[in-house]
Amino acid sequence: MKKIILLSFFISISAICLSQNVGIGTTTPAARLHVKDSNVVFSAPGYPLTATPGNPPISGAGSRMMWYADKAAFRVGTVTDDRWDKDNIGPFSFAAGFNTRAVGEGSFAGGGYSTTYGDFSAAIGGGYASGVMSMAMGGNAYADGNYSLALGYNANVASFAILSTAIGPLTSATGPYSTVVGHEATAAGNFSLSLGYRTIATNAATAIGYDNNAAGFYSTAIGDSTLANGISSVAVGHKTRAYADYSFAFGNNTKAKTPNSFVVGAYNDTTATNRIFEIGKGTADNLRSNAMTVLTNGNVGIGENNPIAKLSVAGNGFFGGSLTVGSLAGFPYTLDVFGTGMFRGSNYLSLINSSGTEDTYIRGGKTTSKVFINDIANMGPVITASNVGIGNTNPLRPLSFPASLGEKILLYPGASGEVGIGVYGNELRLHCDNPGSMVSFGTQDNAGVFTQAGRFQISAPHALFVNGSIWAAGTTYASDERFKQNISFIEYPLQKLMRLNGVEYEMKADEFPKNNFQKQRQIGLIAQDVEKIIPEAVNEMDGYKGVDYARLVPLLIESIKELNKKVEQQQKQIEELKQK
C-alpha cells in the first residue's frame, strides 16, 4: 500500500513539475535532473545480454546521452543519421563525439566520424577499425587486420595483415605481422619492416631511411634511394643497388650484380657480373672504376677492373722486401725476386744490379723460341746497332716486323672491336673497329693536352674533318650518272641566287682556337641564310653549320644560262627594233 501511495506521489510531482527541473537531494535543481551528493545507477540485464534486444530509447539523428540497457551500451554526442540506431550499436560498446559508430562487441569510437566494426576494437579521431582487437587513430586511418594498429592520417593496415602496425601519415601495412613507421612508407610483405619516408619493404624485408626499397626476400635497404633486390641482399648508403642474391652493396652508387658478392666504395665498375668483391673508386655513373676487384675464379685486380691473372696490377707496384713465386731452394725457381735489382725466371729473365757480373738478358728455354737482349756469352744479341726485331731475327731498322701481311700492331683489344696497324698488299691500314670510332691527328703538349687538327670517321656525317684550311692541287667529286637517281632540273635558279647575300667578315679565331680559323678578312655566305634557300648546300657538325660552296656551282651555271637566255631575247628585240 505504501508503494502505491509513494508512486502516486511521484507521478503527481512529475505532472506538476513537467516543465521544471527535477532535483533529488536538492531543492534547487540546476538541470532537468539534478542528483546531489549521491550515486546514480543505470542497470541492465545480466550477462549474457537479452537475445532479442529491443529498440534503444531514441533512434535517428540528434544530440543525446543515452544508456541502452538491452545491449549495455552507452552513447553521448551528436549523430546526423542512423549511426546510433539498434543495428549500429554493438554489445558493451561505447561511442562518443560526432557521427561516431561502434558496431563491434566491446568496441569504442570517439571523436568525429570514427567507426569500429571489429570486436573489442577502438577508433579515435576519424579512424576506422574493422579488425578484431584493432585500433585506428587519425583521419581516414584504417585498421582492417585483426590485432592491428593504424595511427596517423591515412594510415592503413590491410584486412589480411594480422598483427600489423602502421604509424604515420599515408603509411601502409599490407603484409601479415608487418610494421611501418614514417611518411608514405609501405610494409608490403609478411614480417616486413619499413621505417622512414617513402620506404618500401616486402617479403620479410627491412627498409630504413629515405626512398629505399627492400624488394628481395629477407633483404635490407638502409640510407637513401637504395635498392635491395636479391634474396637476403643488403644495400646501405646513397643510391646503392644489391641486385644479386646474398649480395652486399655499401657506399655511394655502388652496384652488386654477382651472387654472394660484396661491394663498397663509390661508382664501382659494372661491366661484368663475375665479381665477388669490389672497391669502387669512380666519380660518376659514366665514370665507373675499381680500386680493387676480386673475381669468382680467384683473380685479383688492383686498379684493374677485369684481372686476367691471379694478380693483375694496373700501374706501378712496390715491394719493401722479397717476393717469391714458386720454389727457391737450389734455384729451380719458377719466379723469384730477391736481393738488389734481381729478377729471375725459370729460363729466365734476369735484371742484375750494377755490381753484378752479368748483363741484362732475356732467354727462352728453346732455341726456336729464344728472345735475346744482349744475352750471355756465345748467344749473340738480337739488338744490333739499336735495331729491334719482333718476329724477325735480322732487323734492318730500329723496329722491324716479318715480311708477312696482316695486322702488325694491336694498340687496343676492345670487347666490341680493336684498334691497330696492319699491312695488306700495298696498303698501310690504320683501323678502329669500335662503332663510332675515329682516327684523329693533331698535336699534344708536354702536359698531355691534345689539340685535334682533324679526324677520319666513317660513320660520321663527314668522313674527313679538318680544323683549319686545306691546300690541294685539285679536288674531284663523285658525279657519275650511274651513282644518281631521282634526277630533276633546278627550278628557279636565278631567283634563289638573287636571294643570297655575299658578305665580308672575320672569323672568331680567339673564341674558337681549336678550329684554327684564319684571322684575315674573308668573303663568303652565312650558313643560316643559305639554309633557308638552298638547304642542300648546308651541313651541320657539333651544332655548328657550314656551307658546301661546290654545291652552289650548278646553281650558278643554271643562273648564267637563264641570264644568257634573257640577254638573247633582249638582243633579238633590239635587232627587231633597229630594222623597223
Task: Tell me the H-state helices in 266-375.
Answer: none
pLDDT at 346 exceeding the cut of 90: no
In a domain, 502, yes or no: yes
Domain assignment present for residue 189? The answer is no
Asked if 143 and 127 touch (Cβ cutoff 8 Å), the reply is yes
Domain contains 305:
no
Q: How many of the other CB atoms lie within 10 Å of CB of 89?
A: 23
Q: Which helix (H) or strand (E) holds 538?
A: strand 538-541
The answer to whether residue 522 scores a pLDDT higher than 70 is: yes
Residue 185 belongs to a domain: no
* 8 A C-beta contact, residue 362 and residue 373: yes
- 211 or 39: which leads in pLDDT: 211
Instruction: Share the mean pLDDT of the chain.
Output: 83
Is residue 473 in some structural domain? no
Percent residues over pLDDT 90 in the chain: 49
- Average of per-residue pLDDT across 412-438: 76
Task: Tell me the average pLDDT across 463-475.
Answer: 69
Strands 544-547, 538-541: pairing kind: antiparallel
Q: Are 267 and 282 in contact (CB under 8 A)?
A: yes
d(CA 397, CA 401): 9
E strand segments, 99-170: 101-102, 108-112, 115-116, 122-124, 128-129, 135-137, 142-143, 149-151, 156-157, 165-167
Is 539 part of a structural domain of the chain? yes
Q: Which residues contact 174 (CB under 8 A, 6 or more apart)?
A: 156, 157, 158, 160, 161, 186, 187, 188
Entry pTM: 0.54
Which cell numbers hold the place of 17?
513539475
**What is the biggest distance separating any 2 CA atoms in the chain, rounded to whole angstroms?**
160
* pLDDT value of position 323: 60
298 in a structural domain: no
Q: What is the mean pLDDT of residues 388-401?
A: 76
What the block records as the C-alpha cell of 284 is: 660518376
Q: Region 185-209: what's the mean pLDDT?
A: 95
Cα torsion 337, 342, 346, 348: sign? positive
Distances (CA, A) of 111 to 17, 79, 130, 139, 169: 36, 12, 17, 10, 18
Q: Does 325 or 561 have the greater pLDDT score?
A: 561
Arithmetic mean of pLDDT, 310-314: 89
Statement: residue 4 has pLDDT above 80? no
Range(s) of the domain holding residue 20: 11-37
Is a pLDDT exceeding 70 seen at residue 109? yes
Give the highest mean pLDDT range of 354-358, 460-464, 502-506: 502-506
Dist. CA 201–CA 211, nearest whole Å: 11
Give pLDDT tens digits for 221-268: 999 999 999 999 999 999 999 999 999 999 999 999 999 999 999 999
Q: Which residue has the cell 569504442?
A: 108
Query: Can you spell out the DSSP letters for 232-254?
Result: T-EEEEES-EE-STT-EEEEES-
Distance CA 123, CA 113 (A): 9
d(CA 120, CA 103): 10
C-alpha cell at 334: 719458377
Alpha carbons 130 and 451: distance in angstroms, whole number = 74
What pLDDT score does 126 carry? Answer: 95
Within-domain flag for 400: no
Helix (H, G, I), strand (E, B) or coil at 173: strand
> Strand ranges (DSSP E) for 314-433?
323-325, 335-338, 342-345, 349-350, 361-362, 388-389, 399-400, 406-413, 418-424, 427-432
Whole-number Å distance between alpha carbons of 264 and 230: 17
Judged by average pLDDT, the poorest of 196-210, 272-286, 507-521 is: 507-521
pLDDT in tens, 257-292: 999 999 999 999 998 889 999 999 999 999 999 999
Domain count within the chain: 2
What does DSSP say about strands 234-238 and 220-224: parallel, antiparallel, or unpaired? Answer: parallel
Q: Are 344 and 332 in contact (CB under 8 A)?
A: no
d(CA 113, CA 415): 67
